[in-house]
Amino acid sequence: NELPWGPSEKLKGVLVDAFGTINRYPDFYKQELSTGLADYAGAKPENIFIDDGSGTLLQDLVRLVVDDGDEVVFGSPSFAAYAIDVMLAGGVGVKVPLDESWTYDLEGVENAITDKTRMILLCNPNNPTGTFLTTPSIREFLSKIADKGILVVVDEAYRDFVTAEPFYESSKLVEEFDNVVLLRTFSKAFGMAGTRLGYVIAAPDVIDAFGAIRQIYSVNVLTQAAATAAVRARDAYAPVVAKIAAERERVLAELRGLAAEGLPVEVWPSTANFLLVRLPGATRVRERMRDEYSILVRDFSYAPGLAGCLRVT
Ligand code: PMP
């Protein structure tokens, strides 16, 4: 579920220039990148913390917040790393089933809160179902639980592909709630998974906590240069995102067409760069797509609740 196309050609020149500086440590304030990102995301630089990939940021955050026996609530099925990160921190993962449309069930999440709950993870759009919670619905949820002292992490790895509301809309939540953390990555829409770059948008307290545990020279000079250039050239990415969103809708319609013809295919609408499809013999279908058509899809058949499901990027 990365981007199939490489990054913009313009980045090559930027990397060649940055190559001349790799004998020096990177800017540990990441000033240029922070300013560029703040502008891109509609946030203030002091609300942004940048590190090597959003997976690293999430793992650090869980370690910062979760002690032995603390509970972390998240949806199921959702991103597999949540359960692992919580377990490694000594915490207890509390899984709340998605609702009947395979969307995060916010009421169910609220009901799962106990005295031990320290963190809630909302994957939005959800991986692997592609379903999406609007910013107003997350705002309402945050208001309801505001006095409980629980950190709410919204993992927005696929946010750039959401066409239902403007990209920067959710950034406003950080100004309204000091317990919300937005988690973002350059691995998907920016086509830069290999450079390892992620960032959070959160209240200054949370940013300070990250600052206290961080590696001073995280995010190498090449990645900082490439990412700074990428956010500056963001207009070049809009057509890429639009193309993926259009392709997603086309494939959805085609698969629904097959279902309408009576074939046993189930597919869910998605706001991300992938679709989840349920069909008989999924594992065999995956193998044949790979071997006969050179198309690689992800087999989720083994995952709880996802029997017969393939995720198609
Ligand atoms: N969150 C979600 C929901 C993901 O799917 C992924 C990547 N598969 C990540 C976070 C981690 O992304 P990265 O570490 O590349 O920033």
Q: Could you identify the atom of ligand 1 that is nearest to the CA of residue 58?
A: 10
**Has this prediction a pTM greater than 0.85?**
yes
Low-confidence ranges of the chain (pLDDT < 70): none
Question: Which residues make Cβ contacts (< 8 Å) with residue 248, sequence separation at least 6?
Answer: 161, 270, 272, 273, 274, 275
- The pocket around ligand 1, CB under 6 angstroms, is made up of 53-55, 79, 123, 127, 155, 157, 185, 187, 193, 198
Nearest residue by C-alpha to atom 11 in ligand 1: 55
Where would I find the beta strands (DSSP E) of the chain? 48-51, 71-76, 92-97, 117-123, 151-155, 180-185, 198-202, 266-267, 275-278, 298-299, 309-312
Q: How far is CA 101 from the centre of its chain?
A: 20
**What pLDDT does 7 receive?**
76
Note the pLDDT of residue 12: 86
- 54 CA: nearest ligand 1 atom: 16
The per-residue pLDDT for 237 is 85
- Expressed in angstroms and rounded, the spacing between residue 20 Cα and the centre of ligand 1 is 30
- pLDDT tens readout for residues 226-281: 999 999 988 888 899 999 999 999 999 999 999 999 999 999 999 999 999 999 99
What is the predicted pLDDT for the residue at 6? 77
For residue range 115-128, what is the model confidence (pLDDT) as tens digits? Answer: 999 999 999 999 99
